[in-house]
């Protein structure tokens, strides 16, 4: 193997380094710096104070908000996995021709390339006061009054998250499943394993990396979300993202920055826990 020509190498990696440097690393460093700044009503005052962190971490509201965000995260994670796993399993082991696998897989992924905002708006006709669900419940005689809690509620928020992000669970799990050597499954069956044993002793353990990658996507997307909670919660529900967004709208940048750093640390801890199961480079 020849060694790389260093000039060629530099030419190849400098565009991505420049873009991520300027628009990812420097901005996050900026957040870190500003989180230690002081502020007055109209301006930022460069300084080195811990007050922003103190205010954030000593406030009861912060913990309550984190608790609420964790609630959304765990529920969304649970349901996306509960739906995503059987969907991938069906695609991988029950659809017999490659052509149909591709077609059905694409059907599952097309919504990923359309607008999240539209997909959230599209729940209005279903969950609204006069929406499809309420009319159905009333005509079935299950309730007399339309249920108010359907739209603008925790229920709507988690439903929208599951609707938006199940894809992120399906794709990596499907990828893991497709790598399982079918002869291993046949060997297990020949050795007398029943379907359930094959699932729990072979398929699930071998899907762990896929489940972990899917979970990383779902968890980070929900933890950092502010738009879904705002739209589906009608501005009444709290999450870490919404809390930050409120501070940003009031131009309270240093507290927002401190909040952002705390959020980043929490997310990175969660991701590093999940990464223990995966060697990312082997998954590609």
Partner 1 sequence: MRERRGKEFYVLAIFFTVFVIFLYGPVSAILILSFQGPNGGLTFPMNGVSIHWFFALFGEQLVGDFKAAFLRSLQLGLVVMVVTIFVSVLTGLAFRKKFFGSTFLFYTTVSSLIVPSILVSLGIGLLYNLMEWEAAWYSSGMGAHLTWTLPFGFLIMIAVFNRFDRSYEEAAKDLGASNWQTIRYVVLPIIAPSLIGVALFGFTLSYDEFARTLMTSGVKNTLPLEIFGMTTNVTTPTLYALGTLTTIFSLVVILTAMGIVFYMQKRRERFGTDAGKGV
The footprint of partner 1 on residues 261-280 (CB under 8 A) is: 263-264, 267, 271, 280
Of 9 and 57, the one with the shorter C-beta distance to partner 1 is 9
CB 233 within 8 A of CB 153: yes
Of 67 and 186, the one with the shorter C-beta distance to partner 1 is 186
CA distance 153 to 100: 38
Q: Considering the complex, what minimum distance in angstroms separates the CB of residue 275 from partner 1?
A: 10
Site string for partner 1, 172-191 (x = CB under 8 A): ----------x---x-----
How many alpha carbons fall within 13 Å on the CB side of residue 169?
A: 24
User: Around Cβ 152, how many Cβ atoms within 10 Å?
Assistant: 18
Q: Binders of partner 1 among 148-167, rule CB under 8 A?
A: 163, 166
Position 108 contacts partner 1 (CB under 8 A): yes
With 0-12 CB in 10 A as exposed, 13-18 as middle and 19+ as buried, what is 267?
A: middle
- Residue 220 tokens read as 């980070």
Task: Look at the alpha carbons of 119, 122, 124, 126 in this order and tell me if their dihedral is positive or negative.
Answer: negative
Using only C-alpha atoms, the chain has a radius of gyration, in whole angstroms, of 23
Position 146 contacts partner 1 (CB under 8 A): no
Position 78 contacts partner 1 (CB under 8 A): no
Q: Which of 7, 98, 106, 191 is the binder for partner 1 (CB under 8 A)?
A: 106
Task: Count the site residues for partner 1 by CB under 8 A.
Answer: 84
Q: Considering the complex, what minimum distance in angstroms separates the CB of residue 30 from partner 1?
A: 5
Of 18 and 67, the one with the shorter C-beta distance to partner 1 is 18
Q: Considering the complex, what minimum distance in angstroms separates the CB of residue 59 from partner 1?
A: 19
- Residue 155 tokens read as 């229920």
CA distance 222 to 189: 39
Distances (CA, A) of 133 to 107, 121, 258: 25, 16, 41
Task: Look at the alpha carbons of 189, 101, 220, 165 in this order and tell me if their dihedral is positive or negative.
Answer: negative
Position 192 contacts partner 1 (CB under 8 A): no
Position 81 contacts partner 1 (CB under 8 A): no
Distances (CA, A) of 82 to 10, 74, 219, 268: 45, 12, 15, 24
Q: Binders of partner 1 among 236-255, rule CB under 8 A?
A: 241, 244-245, 248, 253
Of 12 and 59, the one with the shorter C-beta distance to partner 1 is 12
Q: Considering the complex, what minimum distance in angstroms separates the CB of residue 13 from partner 1?
A: 5
Q: Binders of partner 1 among 114-143, rule CB under 8 A?
A: 114-119, 121-126, 128, 130-132, 135
Position 43 contacts partner 1 (CB under 8 A): no
């Amino acid at each position: 193997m020849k060694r790389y020509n260093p000039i060629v190498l530099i030419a190849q990696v400098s565009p991505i380094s420049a873009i991520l440097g300027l628009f990812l690393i420097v901005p996050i460093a900026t957040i870190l710096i500003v989180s230690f700044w002081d502020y007055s009503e109209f301006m930022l005052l460069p300084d080195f104070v811990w007050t922003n962190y103190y205010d954030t971490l000593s406030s009861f509201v912060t913990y309550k908000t984190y608790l609420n965000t964790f609630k959304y995260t765990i529920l969304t994670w649970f349901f996306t996995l509960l739906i995503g796993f059987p969907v991938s399993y069906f695609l991988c082991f029950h659809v017999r021709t490659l052509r149909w696998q591709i077609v059905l897989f694409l059907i599952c992924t097309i919504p990923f390339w359309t607008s999240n905002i539209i997909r959230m708006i599209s729940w209005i006709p279903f969950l609204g006061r006069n929406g499809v669900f309420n009319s159905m419940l009333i005509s079935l005689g299950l309730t007399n009054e339309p249920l108010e809690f359907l739209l603008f509620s925790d229920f709507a928020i988690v439903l929208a998250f599951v609707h938006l992000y199940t894809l992120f669970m399906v794709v990596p799990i499907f990828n893991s499943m497709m790598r399982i050597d079918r002869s291993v499954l046949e060997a297990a069956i020949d050795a007398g394993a029943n379907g359930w044993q094959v699932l729990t002793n072979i398929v699930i353990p071998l899907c762990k990396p896929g489940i972990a990658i899917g979970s990383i996507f779902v968890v980070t997307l929900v933890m950092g979300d502010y738009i879904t909670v705002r739209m589906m919660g009608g501005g009444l529900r709290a999450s870490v993202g919404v809390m930050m967004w409120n501070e940003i709208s009031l131009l309270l940048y240093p507290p927002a920055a401190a909040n952002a750093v705390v959020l980043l640390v929490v997310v990175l801890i969660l991701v590093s826990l999940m990464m223990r199961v995966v060697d990312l480079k082997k998954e590609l």
